Amino acid sequence: MARILDGASIAAAIKQEVAEEVRKLAARGVRPGLAAVLVGRVAASEIYVRSKVQACAELSLYSDLITPPGDVTTEAMLDLVAGLNARDDIDGILIQLPLPAHVDAKALLDAVDPAKDVDGFHPVNAGRLLAGRPALAPCTPAGVIEILRRSEIPIAGRHAVVVGRSDIVGKPVAILLLHENATVTICHSKTSDLPAITRQADILVAAIGRPGFITPDMVRPGATLIDVGINRLTTREEFDRFFKGDARREAAFAKRSSTIVGDIHPQAFEIAGAYTPVPGGVGLLTIAMLMANTVRAAKLRRGL
């Protein structure tokens, strides 16, 4: 039977370590601070940002939630970011995506001080990550590495296949795996004979944003499957495609009229050696790594 890589317990362990770091910094008169910028009213983003602010409170980090209106201009947002860059009580700046279409998201992310870029999106941090120099790594890719390390899944010398090439997950997770001495293949929508490549993977990372895209025939038996996808299913047809006959999921779907599935078809987990579930896997690491990055930024900024 495949081993389940429990994101909840790993995230809890990381948060406990962060709390200890915060206590040590407090003894030196330092309290790490995170500014979360949420533009407009997007229900999913509001829930996600609230969970980040709550995590700060639990770990005794300072947080400042800033909520500009949905019609805010790019110029006003750039002024806001400049103000946050100048604040000494703010070590990390988080701009919640997606932003309204009229706001230039790339300009805003590039305006964040790289030393406060706790999402790891700034080109300076991307370059430092590529070069193997100290950097603030994107939270989800960093969480993937923590899951593998803390679950004692060997990385060095293994063939890791990453399906997806986004700047947020695919590319940085490939770089982090390379730094861990894996042999890395990056696949995408233009890859020829994708199943032939994914079947070579000792570690298969799915980050393509398509529900159940990785099917059992694309997986080598015994492989470790890391599912980064979070896709919401709202129709009976979609539900039956992945979870027909699953009584537990059926009850949850009937109650909420929705459920989530990753980028890997649940049937593929049956032939894996280990896998991250959805929910309960990689997603839980993202906030934990954001907290860790905020503390790291506080220490780096002060030369600690």
pTM of the model as a whole: 0.94
Rounded to an integer, the average pLDDT of 16-45 is: 93
For the domain that residue 100 is a member of, what is the CATH number? 3.40.50.10860
Same domain, 61 and 168: no
**Per-residue pLDDT reduced to its tens digit, 168-219:** 999 999 999 999 999 999 999 899 999 999 999 999 999 999 999 999 999 9
Q: Is-catalytic flag, 52?
A: yes
Instruction: Outline where 43-87 has alpha helix (H).
Output: 43-58, 74-86
Using CA atoms, how far apart are residues 2 and 222, in angstroms rounded to an integer? 8
Using CA atoms, how far apart are residues 227 and 280, in angstroms rounded to an integer? 10
Same domain, 69 and 157: no
Q: What angle do CA 153, 172, 208 make, to 5 degrees?
A: 85
Same domain, 60 and 188: no
**Per-residue pLDDT reduced to its tens digit, 110-143:** 999 999 999 999 999 999 999 999 889 999 999 9
Same domain, 106 and 145: no
Using CA atoms, how far apart are residues 18 and 302, in angstroms rounded to an integer? 17
What tokens appear for 283 in the block?
Answer: 């997603």
Using CA atoms, how far apart are residues 35 and 290, in angstroms rounded to an integer? 12
64 falls within a domain = yes
The pLDDT assigned to 45 comes to: 79
**Per-residue pLDDT reduced to its tens digit, 86-108:** 999 999 999 998 899 999 999 99
**Per-residue pLDDT reduced to its tens digit, 163-182:** 999 999 999 999 999 999 99
User: Dihedral, CA atoms, 280, 283, 285, 289, nearest 10 degrees?
Assistant: -170
Q: Please give the DSSP secondary-structure letter assigned to residue 183.
A: E
34 falls within a domain = yes
Q: What percent of the chain has pLDDT over 70?
A: 100
| Catalytic-role residue among 91, 96, 117, 171 | 96
CA atoms within 13 A on the CB side of 265: 15
Same domain, 151 and 269: yes
- Beta strand residue intervals within 50-189, DSSP E: 62-66, 92-95, 159-163, 183-187
Using CA atoms, how far apart are residues 153 and 217, in angstroms rounded to an integer? 23
Same domain, 90 and 205: no
132 falls within a domain = no
The pLDDT assigned to 225 comes to: 98
Query: What's the number of domains the chain is made of?
Result: 2
Between 29-33, 155-159, 207-211, 246-250, the lowest mean confidence (pLDDT) is in 246-250
Using CA atoms, how far apart are residues 291 and 224, in angstroms rounded to an integer? 26
What tokens appear for 21 in the block?
Answer: 């770091």
111 falls within a domain = yes
171 falls within a domain = yes
The pLDDT assigned to 244 comes to: 87
**Per-residue pLDDT reduced to its tens digit, 222-268:** 999 999 999 999 999 998 999 988 888 888 888 888 899 999 999 99
- Helix/strand/coil for 92: strand
Rounded to an integer, the average pLDDT of 5-26 is: 97
For the domain that residue 185 is a member of, what is the CATH number? 3.40.50.720
Nearest to 160 by CA among 211, 111, 220: 220
The pLDDT confidence band at residue 47, using thresholds 50, 70 and 90, is confident
Same domain, 207 and 279: yes
Q: At what angle do helices 236-243 and 247-256 cross, to 10 degrees?
A: 160
Same domain, 97 and 165: no
The pLDDT assigned to 43 comes to: 73
Asked whether 59 and 19 are in contact (CB, 8 A), the reply is: yes
**Per-residue pLDDT reduced to its tens digit, 53-73:** 999 999 999 999 999 999 999
100 falls within a domain = yes
| Catalytic-role residue among 52, 116, 117, 171 | 52
Nearest to 262 by CA among 230, 217, 238: 230
Same domain, 88 and 189: no
4 falls within a domain = no
Q: One-letter amino acid identity for 181? A: N
| Catalytic-role residue among 91, 113, 119, 263 | 119
Q: Which domain holds residue 214?
A: 139-285
Q: What percent of the chain has pLDDT over 90?
A: 86
Residue 48 pLDDT > 80 = yes
Same domain, 188 and 83: no
Same domain, 110 and 183: no
Same domain, 217 and 276: yes
Residue 42 pLDDT > 80 = no
- Beta strand residue intervals within the chain, DSSP E: 3-4, 33-37, 62-66, 92-95, 159-163, 183-187, 203-206, 224-227, 231-233, 259-261, 274-275
